[in-house]
Chains A and B, each alone.
Chain A
Amino acid sequence: MNIYDIIFYLFAAITILSAFFVVTTRNIVYSAYYLLFTFFGVAGIYVLLGADFIAIVQLIVYVGGILILLLFGVMLTNKITNVEIRSGSIQIVPAAVGVALFAGIVMASMLNTKWKNIETAMPSATTQGIGLLLIQQYAVVFELLGILLLVALIGAASMARK
């Protein structure tokens, strides 16, 4: 167990535990806060995988953007004054069974597959490389995503306005 492994297990624990609480806590606002920890944990895992840029993007976009959006969604669709911010669960038993089965099988098949597994050196800085890929090989995809975001923005605004 070196320090890398310890940090990995730490982040893994944060991620999985907080994700578990996200889906089980009754209070939606608590769920959102647990989701914050999940995102932090995932960002930590990205850093462990040498993806520093993605980790920062994860923090900015998810924590700064999507999570806030979700919280807005909670606020706008619940009557906060009535304290009816709790939300129950349904069909727990069939879901738990199904998901457990599913997880088991997927994990089994993933662990048994012979993946190409080459230990490469940790990339030092990824930002420049990603930037080059974005404006060279993936230029078209990148532009299309820009258009998609614009369309999503306009679409969301016009839908929410109706």
Chain B
Amino acid sequence: MTEPLMINLALMILLLPLLGFVVSLFLGKRIKAIYIFELFIIILTFAGAVTLAFVKLNYYQNTDIVSQFTWINFGNIPLLGQTNIDLGILIDNIAVLMIFVVTLISMLVHIFSIAYMKGDKLYNRYFAYLGIFTFSMTGIVFTHNMLMIYIFWELVGLSSYLLIGFWFEKKSASDAGKKAFIVNRVGDLGMLAGILILYTTYHTFTFSQIFAQISAGHLPFNSEFWLTVTGILIFCGAIGKSAQFPLHVWLPDAMEGPTPVSALIHAATMVAAGVFLIVRVYPLLTSGALLFIAIIGMLSAFIPATIALTQNDIKKVLAYSTISQLGYMVMGLGVGAYKFAFFHLITHAFFKALLFLGSGSVIHAMHHEQDITKMGGLRKKMPLTYATFLIASLAISGIPLTSGFLSKDGILQGSFAFGSLTGYWIFGFVGFLVALLTAFYMFRLLILTFHGKPRDQHKYDHAHESSFSMAMPLVVLAALSIFIWYTPNPFNPEQGAILTNWIKAPQLVTPQDTRYNFMKSDVPSGSVIKTVPENSEIMYSENYTEALHQAHIPAMLLSLVLAGLGILIAFIFYQWKKVDVDKLTNSIKPLYNLSYNKWYFDEMYDAIFVGGTLMLSRFLSWFDLTIIDGIVNGSASLTRALSIFTGKFDNVVVDGFVNFVAYLSGFVGLIFRRFQTGKVQTYIVFVVFSIVILLFIFK
């Protein structure tokens, strides 16, 4: 397959879902079965994505395929120079991997939704929305410039808003949609600022050109500090979209949308867009920006994990676990474990989509009951759902033989190595702690849902295993959560093609002294690297590779022990009931409340932003009433005193004069009254005549 053919294929993958969207949106009301067309489209898209990924990863492993054209040519603008905006497509390894994940999960979610959404009155519109989401997500992945990323970024936000608020007649759903949209705007503002800084500095949106200029030593405002700021600003977009602390509050609320949507958007693909953005701009991130990213990632991994411990809504638990896992990825990127972070993005997409679809299957069977305290014992009724859910839980907890073990262990290993090289042990520490918490809350969820005795006999009696179209995606995703697809050796991911040949650490372009010590290239300082080598592994120095290697075994053992411990505690608490959970929670009531109420983030934002605005307006109102009104009243009484005096003066002196003038003008008016017809046109005639006379005089 030639390169132009691949570009065409990529364009087809990009545009087909848009076609599906348009067709099923506009014909949805007329033709009841139009969703089959959308289904056909997404299967075609997936086939295209598989072909593209296969060709790219096998035959063009080391070449990036770019196709671009100039969209707007502003010409030679004074002060700016030659300015134009290019649009284009970039097909590289991470793009095709990502596109494979996106289209696969999108296709499975389409299939799952056939049964799940059956009977909904906006059935076709739902599929249309899935189509536009797939389109915009594909756009983010394929583009080669910041501008298009931003455009598709907002499109993704729009489709997310549409899908969260899909059941908009429910107030909580439409509120959740609005919340997601607005919270995302906060992050996007930062991203826009970052993009604009880049554009004013480099006059281009294209990644490769920006990187080339940075690598040539051209920095925003000629300062390394501003390069760091730019990196952090662009990361703000990722904070919003990937629901990182402190903008994570929208994701749990977004669970108001249909469950397959949660699987597609809020677990597997859209929230991963933020991580993908960091991956795209990784070369320009300085050590300061990376440290900031790592800290945000660490907080986002830890805080939601503690919240997930106590939630009772099956989807809320999964939502917090999503934030926590995304925090892992972001932290992994921040500490330099680039390959593992992206690897985790892929594996997490599969098993988290599986978890959500599994929960969807449960919710569907339980007639839209989401409270896990009312479930239990479903293992017998829904064996297939249970088995797949179990595999996904094992994967997210990091148990060997699963994909999650490989990627999560890689991130932990990376943060461990980072600690040993820089002394920031906190990332490794929190990473392992979160591994423990994750194993615990996932198995708490699993046990409460599927094990034990049914707590709501009525609903339990009606529960049933799902139909084929809902079971098939579960099985496919469960299969993809097994290690075998990624590496032949279940304990060492580095032996698989995905990490050795496909995901490659990028060549950093930041100045040498703004990198982490271990990221400085081994090339002697002073010599500028002009071209990006084919195999750009020289991002890391030797001692990092060594530290990573040393961290492998301890990190693996430690994470295994912790995950096992978490699962064991979950079984002791909920399966065998050796410990009275209620008594335990009572003894640590404040901590429990903090977790149960989600660290009071919503209340805090409410108090700070809503309350702050109210306070400000109250203060302004007080200021108006006392100060401004005081001034006004004061001047009023002053004026009054003055007017009493002038009144006297007026009555005697002025009135006399005025009366005289009035008599005079009354007299004159009697004469001129004839000219005043009240018709404007007559006046204009007079004006014309007057001008004629004036022209005669002043000629």
Q: Roughly how many angstroms separate A106 CA and B685 CA in the complex, as a whole number?
A: 16
Q: Roughly how many angstroms separate A128 CA and B685 CA in the complex, as a whole number?
A: 43
B528 to chain A, nearest CB (A): 38
Chain B interface size band reads 10 to 19
A162 to chain B, nearest CB (A): 22
With beta carbons under 8 angstroms apart, the residue of B681, B688, B696 that contacts A90 is B681
Which residues of the other chain, A, contact B692 by a CB distance below 8 angstroms?
98, 101-102, 105
Q: Which B residues from 663 to 692 make CB contacts under 8 A with A?
A: 681-682, 685, 688-689, 691-692
Which residues of the other chain, A, contact B78 by a CB distance below 8 angstroms?
136
**Contact at A91–B695, with CB atoms within 8 Å?**
no
* B694 to chain A: closest residue by CB: A105
**Contact at B688–A91, with CB atoms within 8 Å?**
no
Q: Is B30 an interface residue (CB 8 A)?
A: no
Q: Roughly how many angstroms separate A99 CA and B687 CA in the complex, as a whole number?
A: 11
**Contact at B688–A106, with CB atoms within 8 Å?**
no
* A108 to chain B: closest residue by CB: B699
* A99 to chain B: closest residue by CB: B688
Q: Is A129 an interface residue (CB 8 A)?
A: no
Chain A interface size band reads 10 to 19
**Contact at A98–B681, with CB atoms within 8 Å?**
no
**Contact at B681–A94, with CB atoms within 8 Å?**
no
Which residues of the other chain, B, contact A106 by a CB distance below 8 angstroms?
695
**Contact at A102–B691, with CB atoms within 8 Å?**
yes
B81 to chain A, nearest CB (A): 15
Which residues of the other chain, A, contact B689 by a CB distance below 8 angstroms?
98
Q: Which A residues from 85 to 105 make CB contacts under 8 A with B?
A: 90-91, 94-95, 98-99, 101-102, 105
**Contact at A102–B688, with CB atoms within 8 Å?**
yes
**Contact at A91–B685, with CB atoms within 8 Å?**
yes
Q: Roughly how many angstroms separate A44 CA and B670 CA in the complex, as a whole number?
A: 52
Which residues of the other chain, B, contact A109 by a CB distance below 8 angstroms?
695, 699
Which residues of the other chain, B, contact A136 by a CB distance below 8 angstroms?
78
* A131 to chain B: closest residue by CB: B75
Q: Contact flags (1/0) for A61-90 with B, using CB distance below 8 Å?
A: 000000000000000000000000000001
Q: Contact flags (1/0) for B332-344 with A, using CB distance below 8 Å?
A: 0000000000000
Q: Roughly how many angstroms separate A84 CA and B692 CA in the complex, as a whole number?
A: 36
B83 to chain A, nearest CB (A): 13
**Contact at A98–B699, with CB atoms within 8 Å?**
no
Q: Roughly how many angstroms separate A105 CA and B695 CA in the complex, as a whole number?
A: 7
**Contact at A94–B699, with CB atoms within 8 Å?**
no
Which residues of the other chain, A, contact B699 by a CB distance below 8 angstroms?
105, 109
**Contact at A98–B696, with CB atoms within 8 Å?**
no
A25 to chain B, nearest CB (A): 18
Q: Roughly how many angstroms separate A109 CA and B696 CA in the complex, as a whole number?
A: 10
Q: Roughly how many angstroms separate A95 CA and B78 CA in the complex, as a whole number?
A: 53
Which residues of the other chain, A, contact B688 by a CB distance below 8 angstroms?
95, 98-99, 102
Q: Contact flags (1/0) for A107-143 with B, using CB distance below 8 Å?
A: 0010000000000000000001000000010000000
B433 to chain A, nearest CB (A): 56
**Contact at A98–B685, with CB atoms within 8 Å?**
yes
Q: Roughly how many angstroms separate A101 CA and B689 CA in the complex, as a whole number?
A: 9
Which residues of the other chain, B, contact A105 by a CB distance below 8 angstroms?
692, 695-696, 699
Known: A98-B688, A98-B689. A91 touches B682 (CB 8 A): yes
Which residues of the other chain, B, contact A102 by a CB distance below 8 angstroms?
688, 691-692, 695
With beta carbons under 8 angstroms apart, the residue of A91, A101, A128 that contacts B681 is A91
A101 to chain B, nearest CB (A): 5
Q: Contact flags (1/0) for B67-84 with A, using CB distance below 8 Å?
A: 000000001001000000
* A136 to chain B: closest residue by CB: B78
A28 to chain B, nearest CB (A): 16
Q: Roughly how many angstroms separate A128 CA and B77 CA in the complex, as a whole number?
A: 11
Q: Roughly how many angstroms separate A137 CA and B699 CA in the complex, as a whole number?
A: 35
* A104 to chain B: closest residue by CB: B692
* A90 to chain B: closest residue by CB: B681
Q: Contact flags (1/0) for B58-101 with A, using CB distance below 8 Å?
A: 00000000000000000100100000000000000000000000
Which residues of the other chain, B, contact A128 by a CB distance below 8 angstroms?
75
Which residues of the other chain, A, contact B691 by a CB distance below 8 angstroms?
102
Instruction: Name the residue in B681, B685, B691, B692 with the highest tally of chain A Cβ atoms < 10 Å from its Cβ.
Output: B692
Q: Roughly how many angstroms separate A86 CA and B681 CA in the complex, as a whole number?
A: 19
With beta carbons under 8 angstroms apart, the residue of B75, B685, B695, B696 that contacts A95 is B685
Q: Roughly how many angstroms separate A129 CA and B619 CA in the complex, as a whole number?
A: 51
A85 to chain B, nearest CB (A): 20
Q: Roughly how many angstroms separate A105 CA and B681 CA in the complex, as a whole number?
A: 21
Q: Contact flags (1/0) for B534-550 with A, using CB distance below 8 Å?
A: 00000000000000000
A29 to chain B, nearest CB (A): 22
Which residues of the other chain, B, contact A98 by a CB distance below 8 angstroms?
685, 688-689, 692
Q: Roughly how many angstroms separate A40 CA and B567 CA in the complex, as a whole number?
A: 84
A88 to chain B, nearest CB (A): 12
Q: Roughly how many angstroms separate A98 CA and B696 CA in the complex, as a whole number?
A: 13
Q: Roughly how many angstroms separate A102 CA and B693 CA in the complex, as a whole number?
A: 9
Q: Roughly how many angstroms separate A67 CA and B691 CA in the complex, as a whole number?
A: 30
**Contact at B685–A94, with CB atoms within 8 Å?**
yes
* B682 to chain A: closest residue by CB: A91
A90 to chain B, nearest CB (A): 7
Q: Roughly how many angstroms separate A136 CA and B77 CA in the complex, as a whole number?
A: 11
B475 to chain A, nearest CB (A): 59
Which residues of the other chain, B, contact A91 by a CB distance below 8 angstroms?
681-682, 685
Which residues of the other chain, A, contact B695 by a CB distance below 8 angstroms?
102, 105-106, 109
Q: Which B residues from 492 to 542 make CB contacts under 8 A with A?
A: none
Q: Which B residues from 101 to 143 make CB contacts under 8 A with A?
A: none
Which residues of the other chain, B, contact A101 by a CB distance below 8 angstroms?
692
Which residues of the other chain, A, contact B685 by a CB distance below 8 angstroms?
91, 94-95, 98
Q: Contact flags (1/0) for B155-169 with A, using CB distance below 8 Å?
A: 000000000000000
B691 to chain A, nearest CB (A): 6
Q: Roughly how many angstroms separate A109 CA and B699 CA in the complex, as a whole number?
A: 7
Q: Roughly how many angstroms separate A109 CA and B682 CA in the complex, as a whole number?
A: 26
Q: Roughly how many angstroms separate A23 CA and B692 CA in the complex, as a whole number?
A: 21
Q: Which A residues from 13 to 67 make CB contacts under 8 A with B?
A: none
Q: Roughly how many angstroms separate A25 CA and B691 CA in the complex, as a whole number?
A: 27
Q: Roughly how many angstroms separate A99 CA and B681 CA in the complex, as a whole number?
A: 13
Q: Roughly how many angstroms separate A99 CA and B75 CA in the complex, as a whole number?
A: 50
B688 to chain A, nearest CB (A): 4
Which residues of the other chain, A, contact B696 by a CB distance below 8 angstroms?
105
A5 to chain B, nearest CB (A): 30
Which residues of the other chain, B, contact A94 by a CB distance below 8 angstroms?
685
* A112 to chain B: closest residue by CB: B699
Q: Roughly how many angstroms separate A99 CA and B685 CA in the complex, as a whole number?
A: 9
Which residues of the other chain, B, contact A95 by a CB distance below 8 angstroms?
685, 688
Which residues of the other chain, A, contact B75 by a CB distance below 8 angstroms?
128
Q: Roughly how many angstroms separate A101 CA and B695 CA in the complex, as a whole number?
A: 11
* A132 to chain B: closest residue by CB: B78
A106 to chain B, nearest CB (A): 7
Which residues of the other chain, A, contact B682 by a CB distance below 8 angstroms?
91
Q: Roughly how many angstroms separate A128 CA and B78 CA in the complex, as a whole number?
A: 13
Instruction: Name the residue in A98, A128, A136 with the highest tally of chain B Cβ atoms < 10 Å from its Cβ.
Output: A98
A134 to chain B, nearest CB (A): 13
Q: Roughly how many angstroms separate A90 CA and B688 CA in the complex, as a whole number?
A: 16
Q: Roughly how many angstroms separate A161 CA and B78 CA in the complex, as a whole number?
A: 45
* B75 to chain A: closest residue by CB: A128
A98-B688, A109-B695 are known; give 17 further A-B pairs, CB within 8 A. A90-B681, A91-B681, A91-B685, A94-B685, A95-B685, A98-B685, A98-B692, A99-B688, A101-B692, A102-B695, A105-B692, A105-B695, A105-B696, A105-B699, A106-B695, A128-B75, A136-B78
The 9 residue pairs across chains A and B that have the minimum distance between CB atoms: A98-B688, A105-B695, A101-B692, A102-B692, A98-B689, A102-B688, A94-B685, A98-B685, A95-B685
**Can you give 7 contacting A-B residue pairs, CB < 8 Å?**
A90-B681, A94-B685, A98-B688, A98-B692, A105-B696, A109-B695, A109-B699
B interface list, Cβ under 8 A from A: 75, 78, 681-682, 685, 688-689, 691-692, 695-696, 699
